[in-house]
Amino acid sequence: MIKIYPSILAANFMNLAKEIDSVSKEADGIHLDIMDGVFVPNLTFGFPLIESIRNYTDTYLDAHLMMIDPDKYLERFAKYVSSITVHFEAVTHLHRIISKIKDLGCDAGVSLNPHTPISFLEEILPFVDKVLIMSVNPGFTGQQFLDLTFDKVRKLRDMAQKKGYKTEIIVDGGVSVNNIKKLYDCGANTFIVGASIFHSSNPSLAIKELKKVVESFE
């Protein structure tokens, strides 16, 4: 089943409650892009805002930690979110961090930058719930989709299926009605979408249209 997680980074922070309400009916969760200004060249938001979002909604909160040393903050994130994804490129002891995330009661994921090979995940794949493939270079919203993503999704799907893993395959960056069906056919089942949802005149309808593109061909 296809899932859409709107990225709150693309929302209007001056009217955040209304923005959350605008997607709550159709979205399968809300994606939180946590950037530290070190691992990626941007800063986003921290625990006060995350706590406020959690206090406002009981929806699935999906935290994507684009930061170095994420293990220092896992306990605090786990108080508010449902899922924590860390970057392969940002951690040294990945298995230890994935195990800790699960021990804290959250779904555990690993993310790959566009030019990090899928083959690097072979040993960690049995332990993760999800893999997030970046289809843009992380750090900013509204970037152009990189076509190399299609092949990466296929490789990950084939790797997971060969071993019998039910890995959630996520694509983040530049997802639109023009490429979501092909990404789904390649093996992705969850999509992080920001600007094309929150910058539309009807965010709820934008989510429905994305799902319709895929489901109408099933």
Q: Concatenate the DSSP letters of all residues of 59-90 into one string.
A: S-EEEEEESS-GGGSHHHHHTT-SEEEEEGGG
* Options 28, 33, 36, 129, the catalytic residue: 33
Q: Is 158 a known active-site residue? A: no
Could you tell me if 121 and 112 are in contact, meaning their C-beta atoms sit under 8 angstroms apart? yes
Could you tell me if 75 and 101 are in contact, meaning their C-beta atoms sit under 8 angstroms apart? no
Q: Where are the alpha helices (DSSP H) in the chain?
A: 16-24, 47-56, 74-78, 94-103, 148-163, 180-186, 195-198, 203-215
Q: How far apart are CA 78 and CA 72, in angstroms?
A: 12
Q: How far apart are CA 67 and CA 18, in angstroms?
A: 28
* Options 28, 62, 129, 172, the catalytic residue: 172
Q: Is 33 a known active-site residue? A: yes
Q: Which residues are catalytic?
A: 33, 172
